[in-house]
A = this chain, B = another copy of it.
Amino acid sequence: MGEDRWLWQTLGTVRLWESRWYNLRQDRVRIHTGDEITYTFQEHPGAVFIVPVTPAGEIVLMRQYRYPIRQWLWEVPAGAVDGDEGLEAAARRELAEEIGGAAEELRYVGHFFAASSISNLRIDVFLATGVRLGRGVPEATELIEIKIVPVAEALAMARRGEIKDGQSALALYLCEPLLLAREADALV
C-alpha cells in the first residue's frame, strides 16, 4: 500500500539519546486527523537472525543471558547489521562471532518487525546450511552456551513455548517449511 506510506507527515525529528546500538528518536508528526502529536520510538539499524543447520542436519541453538529480563534464553545466532555491510555479510559475521560457524550456503527466508509500535527494528531471517562450528568469539558481555539438536526437536521446542526469545522462535517457524522439505529430501 505504497500510497499510504506517508500518511502521517514528519514535521521534525530529535534524538533524545544516541548510542552505537540504537537511538531514542522523537518525532513531531501530523497524523491523518490533522492533529499534531509526538511519537517516540527506538531507532535501530536492523538485525539478522540465522538458523544454522549442520552437515548432519541438526540445528545449533545458543543459550544466552539477557540482562533486561535477567534470564537465560534459547536463541539462534543473531546480531545488528553493522553500517552498510549488507544483510548476508552481517549473517556470516554473526555466525562466525557467536558460534564460530561457517556456512556452505546462506538462504534468505524473509523479514518481520520485532515491535512495530515502539521500534523500527526489522529482523531479516536466513537459513544457513552446511554449518561447521569452530571456536566462537563472543563479545565480553555475551554469555553463551551451545546445544546441537535435531531439526524436529528444535521445532518442538518452539512449539512447546520453550524458545522464549520471540525473534528466534519466529525465525525457526519461518524456516520450518524449508527445514521439513530438506529432511524429506534427505530421507529419499
Question: Is B110 a contact of A141 with CB atoms below 8 Å?
Answer: no
Which residues from chain B contact A22 at a C-beta distance below 8 Å?
A: 118
Residue on B with the closest CB to A32?
Answer: B143
Which residues from chain B contact A72 at a C-beta distance below 8 Å?
A: 1, 4
Tell whether A133 is near chain B: CB-to-CB under 8 Å.
no
Question: Is A68 a contact of B116 with CB atoms below 8 Å?
Answer: yes
Which residues from chain B contact A143 at a C-beta distance below 8 Å?
A: 7, 32
Question: Is A161 a contact of B110 with CB atoms below 8 Å?
Answer: yes
CA–CA, A166 to B170, complex, Å?
Answer: 7
Which of A24, A166, A167, A177 has the largest number of chain B CB atoms within 10 A? A166
- Given A27-B67, A110-B161, A161-B174; 13 other pairs, CB 8 A cutoff: A6-B70, A8-B65, A16-B16, A22-B118, A31-B140, A31-B141, A71-B116, A111-B164, A112-B166, A113-B164, A118-B121, A166-B167, A166-B170
Residues on A lying within 8 angstroms of B by beta carbon are 1, 4-8, 16-17, 19, 21-22, 24, 27, 29, 31-33, 35, 37, 39-42, 44, 65-73, 109-123, 140-141, 143, 158-159, 161, 163-167, 169-170, 173-174, 176-177
